[in-house]
Structure 1
């Protein structure tokens, strides 16, 4: 009973005390996390990468637009910083000017952590005084790393070092190296749950539907960074597949074979990649080689054989009737 009275008394004090700390809205995600915003000066590409012990962190923390910039908004997340920040940069504001405007009328700025990078490589970062320990950030040329609620204060220095030491990697892979470095230092004190990676071009071609070079999210997983890396590998494989398809359209079968082979090396157990490799071989007159590839595919799933019957009418398999029969009857 005494404990209950004490708790009730504390509750009364909390009600009577001004709610100065409760300046954030209830619907704002508590995305305590570590993240990086960065730009590749060679390609102009810009990216955000993030990991957190919070469900679907990529839907609230990471924002980006081709030719404009990227934003990471975290801690007690103000999601409006994403779209509003991009809109301000689109109007010509620098990262620093944008951050200043966003924070100027935000009563919750001391519980916010936000990093902004513009298309020129300018960066601006804010870590509020009330972000949960350990919290901090480091900005450098074309990047900013930031973290809050970390197990220890070595997380973001390790992230900055990893970014600087992996300049030889493509930007997406470089971002993953940074996240791995954070996790190796202990990462989020609560553990891990979700991760995201967003990469946009440095210049817009006015086709926003084609301007997310990488847009991957792991919403709920025991090892989100490992899964995020797997997904990036799958994407790279399908990029080779798409290049192969384009080569087929241009009747450049040598290039198509090269691209399909590259895809298969990344995804050796992917039946669809093996299948289209085989079909391309058949279309170049290498029917016996095609059969060697298609045979195990047909054996693994009979529907691929059925699909093969449907390709000649739409011009995707251009072999003689005798060779079509030979392919379909392979055991």
Structure 2
């Protein structure tokens, strides 16, 4: 079966050569990183550009398969076909070499690929706009084009190697190091970051730990970091919900509290934390949280009234009166 899939993929490559995708007249993407966390196996790609919605074209990733960044005079088919070839058993270097060989415009492409085993390869065409280059390291590659200085990608590699934390945090550090060196000679506009699991569960929605895009912003990396923090908070909320399902109240409350610490002032998190407390019998602890949400927006009271019918709060008039008054 794998050999059959591989044959189909390889047959698609000559098609690319016969009918090459027209190169954009403007290079739309600037600096990026593809990486694999050697401990968890997580795969990721992150990018920043002075171009609208960079996340819609440059970053590609699939759990258990690999990650791709296709930029400069971008050809998105490198993302799709690269993942298909790696899924069919090709290594990242083999997949990239095959696609480059079939591309009549490879001299204006900048592409990096990494597979689930950490094999990595990158290409910077000799007609990419300077300063342009890449640096391949252990389980990662950083690449940039149209930079103000040629110190950008070495700084990215150094920052990634030295950074602590999970894959998202280390990739953010690499992007921020690029910007600290001057970044894109045109400035900045959009950014994106994807992290997927090292092994596929067969549920793509569960395998995507981060899938964030900043389409248009005066400081896209600052906004991307804010979104990564917010995503961490919502991931903790999800952990809390799962703990509730397991009837592990202590773990759930710890996760909810950690989420709120990451995103203070987020009424959504406070509200559902309060609902969960009620459902495990901790009504007194829930009341001040409900009060906090009502102060943020009185319409949360109306939502409380609607939850019993959906089974999310007990059908208990006395309890409902307490929750709506949010008094002890």
Residues 206-225 of structure 1 mapped to structure 2, 5 A cutoff:
206-225=202-221
CA distance in 2, matches of 1:79, 1:272: 37
Deviation at 1:131, TM superposition (A): 0.7
CA contact under 8 A between 1:30 and 1:54: conserved in structure 2? no
Secondary structure of the residue aligned to 2:179 is: helix
CA contact under 8 A between 2:23 and 2:73: conserved in structure 1? no
CA distance in 1, matches of 2:270, 2:251: 16
1:126 paired with 2:123, answer yes
CA distance in 1, matches of 2:205, 2:268: 25
Deviation at 1:54, TM superposition (A): 0.7
Residues 222-301 of structure 1 mapped to structure 2, 5 A cutoff:
222-301=218-297
CA contact under 8 A between 1:24 and 1:76: conserved in structure 2? no
Deviation at 1:99, TM superposition (A): 1.2
Q: Which residue of 1 aligns with 2:109?
A: 112
Q: Which runs of 5+ in 2 are unaligned?
A: 1-19
Deviation at 1:254, TM superposition (A): 1.7
Deviation at 1:135, TM superposition (A): 0.6
CA distance in 1, matches of 2:270, 2:258: 11
Q: Which residue of 2 aligns with 1:159?
A: 156
CA distance in 1, matches of 2:271, 2:314: 15
RMSD: 1.7
Structure-2-length-normalised TM-score: 0.90
Q: Which runs of 5+ in 1 are unaligned?
A: 1-22
Instruction: Tell me: CA distance 1:199–1:205, structure 2 relative to 1, closer, same or farther (3 Å).
Output: same
Deviation at 1:298, TM superposition (A): 1.3
1:75 paired with 2:72, answer yes
CA contact under 8 A between 1:33 and 1:147: conserved in structure 2? yes
Deviation at 1:29, TM superposition (A): 6.4
Q: Which residue of 1 aligns with 2:298?
A: 302
- What does the per-residue CA deviation read over 1:175-210, in whole Å, with 9 as the maximum and x for residues that have no partner? 001000000000000000010101111111222333
Secondary structure of the residue aligned to 1:50 is: strand
CA contact under 8 A between 2:70 and 2:76: conserved in structure 1? yes
Secondary structure of the residue aligned to 2:208 is: coil
Residues 54-69 of structure 1 mapped to structure 2, 5 A cutoff:
54-69=51-66
CA distance in 2, matches of 1:219, 1:28: 21
Deviation at 1:322, TM superposition (A): 2.2
CA distance in 1, matches of 2:26, 2:281: 57
Secondary structure of the residue aligned to 1:213 is: strand
Aligned length, in residue pairs: 308
1:135 paired with 2:132, answer yes
- What does the per-residue CA deviation read over 1:139-191, in whole Å, with 9 as the maximum and x for residues that have no partner? 0110111111000010000000001101x310011100100000000000000
Q: Which residue of 1 aligns with 2:81?
A: 84
